[in-house]
Amino acid sequence: MRTRPILSWTPTGASAPTTTSLDELAGVVAGGRVLVLSGAGLSTESGIPDYRGESGQLRRHVPMTYDEFVGTEQNRRRYWARSHLGWRTITGAAPNDGHRAVADLARRGYLAGVITQNVDGLHQAAGTPDVVELHGSLSRVVCLGCRRTSGRDDLDRRLRRANPGFDATAVRVNPDGDVELGDEDVRGFRLVGCTGCGSGVLKPDVVFFGESVPRDRVDRCHALVDGAAALVVLGSSLAVMSGLRFVRRAADAGKPVLIVNRGQTRGDRYAAVRVELPLGRALTDLARLLPATA
C-alpha cells in the first residue's frame, strides 16, 4: 500500500468515549497478549516532534515524497543535507518514561508484540525486544541500485569527510529526522554513493510518503494482530492507512481496541475508549497498576 502526505485531517463520525482513568486499559492489559501499535506521539517527550499533534510539524513541513527523492539529484542533495544535521538530534534522543514502560510490560509478559510507526529506534533503546518497525529505521541506509544495506553512522562519517566545511545550523528538527535549512546551505552539499556497487543512490531505510510498506512486513503485522487478544494504540492519530488497517483488522475480529492519545484519531470509531493523558505518565502509572507478571 502506498502512503500519501495528509496535510490535515478533520475528525468525522463517532468519537471514542474519552477518559482520564486507566481502569479499562489496565483491565484489558492485565489479560495479556496485548499488541501495541505506537506512533510519533510516544516520542515527543524525548524531544522528537510529531506530525499531527498539538504542535504537529505538518503545519510547517511537508515531508519529501519517494518520487521527489528519486526524481532529481538536487532533491536528494536537499534531503541529505538536511537529514545529515537532523541525524544528530535523532542520535541524541533518549527513551522516555513511555518507552521504558512499554519495555517493562513486555518483560513482564503482558505484550504479544510491538509495532511502531516511528523510525527513531527508541523502543529498542529502551529494551523492548522484537519490535516491528513498520516504516523502517533512520539508523539504516539502503542502496536503490544493489539493495545493499549499511549503517547510518558509517554514512554520517562519509558525509562529514565529503563536506568538511558544512557548518549550517538547523532551525527546526522534524519527525522524519529532516531539518529546516535555507537553499544557500544546501547548494554546495556533496553526496556520496554506495560503497558496494559504487554508483547506486543511497536512501534512508524508511518508507517515504508515496512508497509501499514491504509486503512481508505487513503480513507479519497482520499475524501479530491475529494472534493478539487486544490492540492498544499509543500516540498516533492513525491518519494514514498503514497503521489504521491494523486497528480495523482487530476491530473486525471483535478484539478490544484502546487508544492512548491527546486528541481525536482516525481510529476512534473502532475503539472502546480513548485515554486522554500524556503518554509517559499514563504508561508509567499503568505499569504500576499491574501485577508483577501476566
Give tens-digit pLDDT for 133-179: 999 999 999 999 999 999 999 999 999 999 998 877 666 667 677 77
Whether residue 216 is annotated as binding a ligand: the answer is: no
- Paired with 234 in beta bridges are 38, 260
Whether residue 75 is annotated as binding a ligand: the answer is: no
How far, in Å, CA of 263 to CA of 233, rounded? 13
Least confident of 18-32, 182-196, 218-232: 182-196
Residue 102 near residue 36, CB atoms below 8 Å? yes
- The pLDDT confidence band at residue 58, using thresholds 50, 70 and 90, is very low
Element containing residue 151 per DSSP (H, E): strand 149-151
- The pLDDT confidence band at residue 278, using thresholds 50, 70 and 90, is very high
Q: For residue 69, give the C-alpha cell.
A: 527523492
Whether residue 136 is annotated as binding a ligand: the answer is: no
Res 90: pLDDT: 86
What is the pLDDT of the chain when averaged over all its residues? 90
Res 165: pLDDT: 85
- The pLDDT confidence band at residue 13, using thresholds 50, 70 and 90, is low
Q: 61-92+138-206 domain in CATH 3.30.1600?
A: yes
Checking if the pLDDT of 2 tops 50, the result is: no
Whether residue 236 is annotated as binding a ligand: the answer is: yes
How far, in Å, CA of 13 to CA of 74, rounded? 42
Checking if the pLDDT of 95 tops 80, the result is: yes
Res 10: pLDDT: 65
Select the more confidently predicted residue: 10 or 96.
Answer: 96
Residue 136 near residue 204, CB atoms below 8 Å? yes
Residue 191 near residue 80, CB atoms below 8 Å? yes
Whether residue 177 is annotated as binding a ligand: the answer is: no
Checking if the pLDDT of 8 tops 70, the result is: no
Res 203: pLDDT: 97
Res 59: pLDDT: 46
Q: Which fold has domain 13-48+95-135+212-294?
A: Rossmann fold (3.40.50)
Checking if the pLDDT of 39 tops 70, the result is: yes
Residue 45 near residue 279, CB atoms below 8 Å? yes
- The pLDDT confidence band at residue 49, using thresholds 50, 70 and 90, is confident
* Domain definitions of the chain by residue range: 13-48+95-135+212-294, 61-92+138-206
Q: How far is CA 183 from CA 58, 97, 218, in A?
A: 20, 38, 37
Select the more confidently predicted residue: 97 or 240.
Answer: 97
Select the more confidently predicted residue: 56 or 258.
Answer: 258
% of the chain residues with pLDDT over 70: 89
Cα 283–Cα 286–Cα 291 angle in degrees, nearest 5: 135
How far, in Å, CA of 278 to CA of 19, rounded? 12
Indicate which residues carry an active-site annotation: 135
Could you say which DSSP state residue 32 is in? Answer: -
Res 38: pLDDT: 98
